[in-house]
Amino acid sequence: MRTSKVANDTLRDRIAEGIAANVKAYNVPAICMRAGIQESVEPSDADEAFRSRRVYVKNRLVQLDQPALLRIAAAVLEEFDIPNLAEVVSELTVHAAHRITEITRRDILKVLNRCETLFNDVDLFEGLNIFSSEHLSYDGIDNDLNFLPSLAKDIAQHYIRNPDYSTEEILIRCGALTCSQTSFFALLEKLLHPVVRRGEEQVDLATQLNAVLRPDGFRAVVIGAQSMHPIYAVQRIGAGVAGTVKNLIFASVGPKPELVLRDAVSNDIEITKHADMCLVFDRPLPTSGLAWLDMAQWWQERQGLAELKSARQSLGERLKRSVELSHSPGEYAIFRTYHEVFGPKLGDRLPALIPQVYLHYDPFTQAERVQLGKDRVLVRQRMDFLMLLDGHVRIVIEVDGLQHYAEGGRASPAQYARMVEEDRRLRLQGYAEHAWRSQDDTQAGFIDLVLQNQYDTAVMVVECKRVRDADWLFLSSTGTARSRAHCKGWVSHYREESFKFFGWEDFTVDPQTPEASFCVIRGQDANGRRPMLERVASEVVASTEALALQEKALHVPPSSRPFRLYFNVIVTTAPLLVAQFEPASISLTEGTLDGASFTVVPFLRFRKQLLDAFMPADLLDYQNDAVGGSRESTVFIVNAEHLADFLQEFEVSEQSARKFI
């Protein structure tokens, strides 16, 4: 199943064979009707099915096209476990558009050839049968009277008993170069499974495989954990932006350059005026993306500098000048902080943060268009910052000032709409945000903001909510607003070749705040399936857990970051009020509360059962009411005006953290 397109007749055969193998003849017509193969059952259908179940099914599939066959296949797979059919469906859907080349397959086999043992403690035939073109079995391989050749006998003689074949040769003989992409990826996921290898060996193999898979747009990523060991899956890297970088014009320090298209066929441009006011990166872009080292080496050659160190310093000053001339404190803060924080950590691997990049080009300035009565055709011609990463991934960083959403100092819906339209256009082109997906694949989304302390030991996953004319009113089950120091956060701690902690744990954290388990928001539909804050808080908790899982491999040596805490935060523009009341004053018939007092607070803890997953418990847990507590999560709710105060005061108590270190 090597080709990128599987014949429809193969799909028909797999559907027919799957039903024939799993269904009694007298039930075949009914199953066919339920799967959408036929609309009704005729009296003669039973006799036809008894003659041949497979032929009965295939006769009714002959006239159907691929979309109809795929719908039927999906319905059949919901009823029965048919691996061969699932593989074909995967080839026609998940792996139809994006495939790895034979070059990549061969390079992967060379990586695997360096493994001391392929499947370690897992049986060799069990692992090879994941993709082997011939089922491998130990039955009969030691029978001297069995003279029939078989792949299993060949492997036993020349690989298990004698080292005549290399691992690469065995994999090729089993069909690693010709099997489906689904099966090939299943092989890689088995080799990375913690049952086969763990610790440094697992991480090292994943790193080597990713180096080979990356040019084809795939990588092995951590999607979960088993007994606190990472589970890997081969997934498509974000598609990135189509096309290659041809003209990188950046770091403007003056008037807009004037361009001519010297060769329209080759897309060659020439700057005819103000060439000294910008920079043009004229080297081919490395496949791994554009790093600060690449730019420094380019600048060294361009300026004829003897030392790379002086080139780094000179280029840094030139880029800094461009940022300063933007007259944006936000842009300057990003540029300075990026290099101060990540430069020492990443060194030569630091992605280049390219300022003032021309994304679009209009030969007229905005003022000239107004003067000539011409319509405005480009909302945004320059990007504040651009990063070019591996896999055609381009990250645009825009610092939105007043001019992005206001005119004349007043909020402008039209101006804001133009900005949103441009952002959407960039996303449709492939410029990406940081995405997350829950371990059970039931939730997914984008993280608004990830904050970390200067020691890389504490992380806040932040969701931002802007509301209008709405207060958030919080209540506790006891009716009090007493301050609490406890909260639940995620702990990742790798020590002595294993994770000692990898999950949600209770901490003592400053600042102490009121804690509530209920929230009332004016205008919220009382008949809604789930209150707004609970839904948002649940997504924040899921995104925090997903981020921790994504970063799990980063804690394993040779990483120097074995310990990390994660916390859930929602920042809102809504005023936060905490109610104090007598629980007995709540009317059970009217659903009203009388005699309550309300206190405005800058931030608080919202603690509730927000996770759907059930935590293991025993009888003692039920007696101690620990089941509900084990499923509770803490989300800090912060009023936007007090975010700086919250960050300043936030600190995990040393005594509380000591038990996790």
3 state SS of 397: strand
Report the alpha-carbon distance of residue 317 to residue 429 in Å, rounded.
Answer: 32
User: What confidence tens digit (pLDDT) does each residue in 212-246 have?
Assistant: 998 888 888 877 778 878 888 888 775 444 444 45
Mean pLDDT of 10-14: 92
Spatial CA neighbour of 570 closest among 457, 449, 486: 449
pLDDT, residue 525, reads 45
Mean pLDDT of 475-488: 82
Alpha carbon 435 to its chain's center: 4
CA–CA–CA angle 76, 80, 81 (5° rounding): 115
Examine the pLDDT at 177 and tell me if it is beyond 90: yes
Mean pLDDT, all residues of the chain:
79
- Is residue 213 a contact partner of residue 108, using CB atoms and an 8 Å limit? yes
- Is residue 6 a contact partner of residue 91, using CB atoms and an 8 Å limit? yes
Long-range contacts of 24-27 (CB under 8 A, 24+ apart): 25/49, 25/50, 25/53, 26/50
- Is residue 209 a contact partner of residue 228, using CB atoms and an 8 Å limit? no
Q: Of residues 103 and 431, which shows the higher confidence score?
A: 103
Q: Alpha-carbon torsion 177, 180, 183, 189, what sign?
A: positive
Examine the pLDDT at 492 and tell me if it is beyond 50: yes
pLDDT, residue 287, reads 66
pLDDT, residue 372, reads 58
Count of Cβ atoms closer than 10 Å to residue 299 Cβ: 21
Report the range of poorest mean pLDDT among 41-45, 55-59, 189-193.
Answer: 41-45
Mean pLDDT of 597-617: 76
pLDDT, residue 450, reads 85
Q: Of residues 528 and 507, which shows the higher confidence score?
A: 507
Report the alpha-carbon distance of residue 40 to residue 32 in Å, rounded.
Answer: 9
User: What confidence tens digit (pLDDT) does each residue in 276-326 have?
Assistant: 788 888 777 776 788 999 999 999 998 999 999 999 999 999 999 999 988
In the chain, pLDDT over 90 holds for what percent of residues?
Answer: 30
Q: Is the pTM of this model over 0.85?
A: no
Examine the pLDDT at 469 and tell me if it is beyond 60: yes
Report domain extents, the chain: 1-92, 102-236, 248-399, 434-658
Could you give the dihedral angle defined by the CA atoms of residues 280, 360, 388 and 402, in that order, rounded to the nearest 10 degrees? 110
| N- to C-terminal Cα separation, the chain | 50
